[in-house]
Amino acid sequence: MIRSLIYSLTFHSVMILLTILSLPFMLREPVDLPPIVSVELIQISDQTNIPYAPKARKIIKETKKKEKERLVSEQAPPSAKAKEKPDRIPLPNEKKEKKQIVKKKQNPEEVKPEIRQSSEFEKKEIIDTNQIAALIDKAKEEEATKQKKIDKITQSSQKNSFATGLTLSEEDALRAQIFGCWSVPLGLPYNEDLLVRIKLNLKKDGTITKSEILDHQRMNRPGQKFYKVLAESALRAVRLCQPLKVPPTGYDKWKEIQLNFNPTEMLRG
Amino acid sequence: MKKLLLIILLNCFLFNISYALIEVDITRGNLDPLPIAVSPLHVDIKSENYNDIKVKELGENISEIIENNFKATGLFNPLKKEAFVQKPDITHLKPRFEDWRLIKAQALVSGKLLIKDGKLKVEFRLWDLAAAKEMTALAFTTTPSNWRRVAHIISDKIYERLTGEEGYFDTRIIYVAESGPKSQRVKKLAIMDQDGAKTKYLTLGNELVLTPRFNPTNQMVTYMSYFRNMPRVYLLDIETGTQEVVGNFPGMTFAPRFSPDGKKIVMSFAKDGNSDIFTMNLETRVVERITNHSSIDTSPSFSPDGKFIAFNSDRSGLQQIYVMRSDGSGVKRITFGNGIYGTPVWSPRGDLIAFTKMRKGKFYIGVMRTDGTGERLLTENFYQEAPSWSPNGRVIVFYRETKAGLKGEGFTAKLWSIDITGYNERQLKTETDASDPSWSSLLSK
């Protein structure tokens, strides 16, 4: 009795220990993104920078102009203002900015270029204070909306790459390759479910070691003859395409891959 | 107990880090014809000659028919024989898949034949070259004179295996063969294989013949003929050549068609000066009125389940297509487009209705869903009409006339076929001018 109790206790404590120890460890793993993801993020931020630049330049020019005018008219010592910058005396407008910056810092790796850019801005803006506050506000609003957009993009792409483990370009390359190999049978009914899911086990060079139709039992159902033909055509496509165009890295992620063949869209034209 | 614990513990530690399965959606492919290699059938050396059939050439001839059938579908691309890498006999035993893949073939047909004791035995195999395995294999025994049909049946089986739908090669087309100048046309009833071979004339051409239609259940044909200027509906058994008159009908009689069970014919004729739709039971010869309307109702066609009839009517002004239950109730107009619609024909699959449309002096052959939506015009020309479906509902055959000069010169009428996708329009070879085609169901069903 006691012995079994001890067994049970040790077993349970081991299990609890394991869950405590292993769960965070397991959680951390997927967060540890491979370098591929960061490459994608940079691409996106580059793209959003392009439309951003001219506007920024405009605002900068305007602020510079006004600054000069003010310098002439008010004769305020610019050096004193410039000194304020490193000390970062929190002006009412700046407080907002700081908050934003803090937000951005939650994700420092991703949005670095953006932060740098906006801070460059702020430098110019800080020089000038109250009179161009309205302008700054406007700029900030724009910036904020831009930032939101960027966040959205990065999030979705992150989700995407996280889910597939392939970057968009890698996925596209693979897709384009299979498009070329797949002869779609033309006798397919338009109003049936035409999804064929094929699971592949791949070697590092992209050759297939195992291919499996996931809805295998559907092939032999009555009235589903077309499905067999469709599934076979998909399998033929994969085999003809060998070796598949797979990324050079991250083999563990794509050694098993599922291809969802669905010609519905194409048949409807 | 300890072992069990150990195993459980080990399992816990060996728990691997697993990633979510990568999924890639493939929503497009190419619609290029599938490259297929049809190897000539190997002729067994024990084969004997039979009547005028040269057995040595038979293997080549059969493979050629199969190739032509495939080419005509537009879905397959039969590869040139010069590129073939293996002899027919070895190919049929076990093809070297890598070699055939080299010439970019995706499927391979091989076979062998033997004529002995007045019997033809043909065997064929279809190989999936990418998967390196056999897809289907069949053997037939028949009289040697049936060798063309064997080729068509093999084509059907391969087509079915590769596209998922029934083939239509082992079929025949009946049509009106026309000859002579336009004002004095001689019209005979003719029948041929769907590839244009084996044309046979069924009437002499003394009387005008019109609108031959196949019975969907057997090789019976109904057609109209004018006998002393009186329209008559005939039944003709193609196998035996026997003919019988179904009845004399008054006034203009149009387009008799069979019901899907083959027991009734539906047609329109003018009773009391107005065209309506009637059915006639072929066993009891009882005529039943289906429509009773002051407008002109013509061109009835049954749905494949026999529950509905599509027909033409001008009850709303211009001629349009209507659908009703087969007892005449629930009449519903289905076409609302500009122009005149005519000759509705229900697809054997039941999903579409083919029709002729006339608009601004042009004729179109088109298809639409049975409720009139999704109208697609497949082809446009100076004059074309009388669509008829292939038994699998994939191809439509119709006839097209060219514009004649003042004296009728330059006038031709030819049969054409088109895929329901609107692709692969091609002229069918006929010995003479031809009109009013009707496609039979599969002969080997």
Task: Give me the residue spans of the domains in chain B.
Answer: 34-163, 172-439
Among B75, B80, B125, B84, which residue's Cα sits nearest to residue B102?
A: B84
Greatest alpha-carbon pair distance for chain A in Å reads: 95
Q: Measure the CA angle with vertex A105, ends A104 and A109; round to 5°.
A: 95
CATH number corresponding to B172-439: 2.120.10.30
In a domain, A230, yes or no: yes
Please indicate, yes or no, whether residues A144 and A180 belong to a single structural domain of this protein. no
From A164, A192, A214, the end of a domain falls on: A164
Would you list the DSSP string of B390-420? -TTSSEEEEEEEPPP-TTSTT--EEEEEEET
Residues of chain A predicted below pLDDT 70: 22-61, 63-64, 66-164, 268-269
Contact (CB<8Å) A179/B164: no
Please indicate, yes or no, whether residues A176 and A152 belong to a single structural domain of this protein. no
- Mention every residue, 6+ apart, whose C-beta is less than 8 A from residue A27: none
From A136, A164, A192, the end of a domain falls on: A164
From A148, A164, A180, the end of a domain falls on: A164
Among A267, A254, A235, A238, which residue's Cα sits nearest to residue A175?
A: A238
In a domain, A15, yes or no: no
pLDDT per residue as tens, chain B (445 positions):
667 666 665 565 555 455 678 888 888 888 788 899 999 999 988 888 887 788 888 999 999 999 999 999 888 999 998 888 888 888 888 889 888 988 888 899 999 999 888 888 999 999 998 888 888 898 888 888 889 999 999 999 999 888 888 899 999 999 999 998 888 889 999 999 999 989 999 888 888 888 899 988 877 899 988 877 778 888 888 888 888 888 777 666 677 899 999 889 998 888 777 888 999 998 888 889 899 888 888 899 999 999 999 999 998 888 999 999 999 899 999 999 888 999 999 999 888 999 999 999 899 999 999 998 888 999 999 999 999 999 989 899 999 998 888 777 788 999 999 988 888 899 999 999 999 999 998 887 6
Please indicate, yes or no, whether residues A251 and A143 belong to a single structural domain of this protein. no
Q: Is A256 on the interface with B (CB under 8 A)?
A: yes
b (16+ CB within 10 A) / e for A25-50: eeeeeeeeeeebbeebbeebbeebee
In a domain, A250, yes or no: yes
Q: What is the pTM of this model?
A: 0.71
CA dist B235 and B237 (Å) reads 7
Please give the tally of structural domains in chain A. Answer: 2
In a domain, A27, yes or no: no
CA dist list (Å): B225 to B173, B213, B238, B256, B286: 19, 13, 16, 11, 21
Report the SS3 class of residue A201.
Answer: strand
In a domain, A129, yes or no: yes
Please indicate, yes or no, whether residues A81 and A142 belong to a single structural domain of this protein. yes
* Residues B314 and B296: beta-carbon distance below 8 Å: yes
Please indicate, yes or no, whether residues A174 and A81 belong to a single structural domain of this protein. no
Please indicate, yes or no, whether residues A88 and A45 belong to a single structural domain of this protein. yes
CATH 3.40.50.10070 given to domain B34-163: yes
Please indicate, yes or no, whether residues A188 and A99 belong to a single structural domain of this protein. no
Smallest Cβ–Cβ distance between A165 and the set B22, B75, B106 belongs to B22
Please indicate, yes or no, whether residues A241 and A256 belong to a single structural domain of this protein. yes
Is B172-439 the same fold as B34-163? Answer: no
Q: Which domain holds residue A220?
A: 168-268
The ipTM is 0.70
**Amino acid symbol at A248:** P
Smallest Cβ–Cβ distance between B24 and the set A239, A259, A265 belongs to A259
Smallest Cβ–Cβ distance between B22 and the set A178, A233, A253 belongs to A253
Q: Is A186 on the interface with B (CB under 8 A)?
A: yes
Question: How many residue contacts between A and B have a Cβ separation below 8 Å?
Answer: 127
